[in-house]
């Protein structure tokens, strides 16, 4: 699908596989499978260790080497699982026949929650990790456009005046961070309120694993978000929500496409129906 000038593609069904590619931002969120279309992407953000989100992380690395891509991809791993991820990657390589003496760890980057950090190969982009509540340690990620703009007090000045200010050592610009995409894999609905900043992104990608009215307790028990909680967030946040697109994905495999669309049509508040999109 096309959202705000970006192509968003992938797959996300609970328990089967999840990966979301955005080629214009040179990234993939999660790597439950690794289609060839993902191999050229240089940044992979892993949210948590569950296999339907992580199992093909190193398949991505292997395929890049196989087809001769020399640049090492940057793999962003939540700090809480980084050490185990390093062990897992090494064990997988040895299992496939790579000797310990020849093993080289791919470019795995431990991510702490909180601060904006530059993306490895995109100086125009920043990312920020943040904690989400799931059954195991997990992070969400926001990717933002990073640029500098002329300070308001200098807008309208003629070019010679701007040039003179720069010569005089005046800082005439200000930093601008524009959140473009926020991605959350698996989380309980409380995260939608705990991390209210997610609604500032132009495109928000969140889960809605369970959608039936009697499944709210089940969703919480399994560490997932229920459609009712998405609806509650939309109603309570209201005009504070800046997101132009709110993409719901990771639906349970027990629901059919038609049923999901019908449930969204009746459940989503009318004010948001043109912004909420089912990724199915």
Looking at the chain, how many residues does it have?
A: 280
Are the CB atoms for 142 and 119 separated by under 8 Å?
no
pLDDT at residue 207, as a whole number: 97
pLDDT at residue 163, as a whole number: 78
* Phi, psi angle pair for 13, to nearest 5°: -125, 130
Query: What pTM was estimated for this model as a whole?
Result: 0.91
pLDDT at residue 164, as a whole number: 79
SS3 assignment, position 241: coil
Residue 128 DSSP label: E
Q: Which domains does the chain have, with CATH numbers?
A: 2-278 (3.60.15.10)
**Burial class (CB within 10 angstroms; exposed 0-12, middle 13-18, buried 19+) of 218:** middle
Of the candidates 152, 142, 57, which has an alpha carbon nearest to the alpha carbon of residue 106? 57
pLDDT at residue 118, as a whole number: 96
Each residue's pLDDT tens digit in the chain (280 positions)? 988 889 999 999 999 999 999 999 999 999 999 999 999 999 999 999 999 999 999 999 999 999 999 999 999 999 999 999 999 999 999 999 999 999 999 999 999 999 999 999 999 999 999 999 999 999 999 999 998 777 877 777 788 887 777 788 878 777 889 999 999 999 999 999 999 999 999 999 999 999 999 999 999 999 999 999 999 999 999 999 999 999 999 999 999 999 999 999 999 999 999 999 999 9
pLDDT at residue 175, as a whole number: 82
Neighbours of 19 (CB within 10 A): 25
Spatial separation of the C-alpha atoms in residues 277 and 273, rounded to whole Å: 8
Are the CB atoms for 171 and 162 separated by under 8 Å?
no
Instruction: Quickly list DSSP for 48-87.
Output: ---HHHHTTHHHHHHHHHHTT--SPPEEEEEGGGHHHHHH
How many H-runs (helices) and E-runs (strands) does the chain carry?
Answer: 9, 16
pLDDT at residue 157, as a whole number: 77
pLDDT at residue 233, as a whole number: 97
CA distances from 35 to 25, 31, 201 (A): 17, 9, 27
């Amino acid at each position: 699908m096309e959202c705000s000038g970006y192509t968003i593609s992938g797959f996300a069904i609970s328990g089967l596989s999840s990966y979301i590619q955005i080629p214009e931002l040179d990234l993939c969120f999660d790597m439950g499978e690794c289609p060839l279309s993902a191999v050229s992407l240089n940044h992979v953000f892993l949210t948590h260790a569950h296999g339907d989100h992580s199992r093909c992380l190193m398949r991505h690395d292997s395929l890049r080497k196989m087809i001769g891509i020399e640049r090492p991809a940057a793999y962003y791993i939540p700090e809480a699982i980084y050490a185990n991820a390093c062990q897992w990657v090494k064990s997988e390589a040895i299992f496939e026949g790579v000797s310990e003496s020849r093993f080289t760890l791919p470019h795995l980057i431990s991510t702490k929650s909180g601060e904006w950090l530059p993306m490895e190969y995109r100086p125009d982009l920043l990312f920020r990790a943040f904690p989400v509540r799931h059954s195991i340690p997990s992070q969400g990620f926001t990717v933002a456009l990073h640029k500098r703009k002329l300070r308001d007090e200098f807008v309208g000045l003629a070019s010679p005046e701007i040039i003179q200010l720069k010569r005089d050592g005046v800082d005439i610009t200000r930093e601008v961070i524009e959140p473009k995409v926020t991605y959350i894999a698996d989380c309980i609905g409380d995260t939608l309120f705990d991390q209210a900043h997610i609604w500032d992104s132009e495109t928000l990608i969140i889960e809605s694993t369970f959608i039936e009215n009697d499944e709210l307790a089940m969703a919480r028990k399994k560490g997932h978000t229920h459609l009712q909680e998405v609806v509650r967030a939309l109603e309570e946040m209201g005009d504070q929500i800046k997101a132009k697109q709110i993409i719901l994905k990771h639906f349970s495999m027990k629901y059919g496409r038609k049923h999901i669309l019908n449930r969204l049509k009746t459940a989503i508040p009318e004010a948001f129906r043109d912004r909420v999109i089912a990724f199915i």
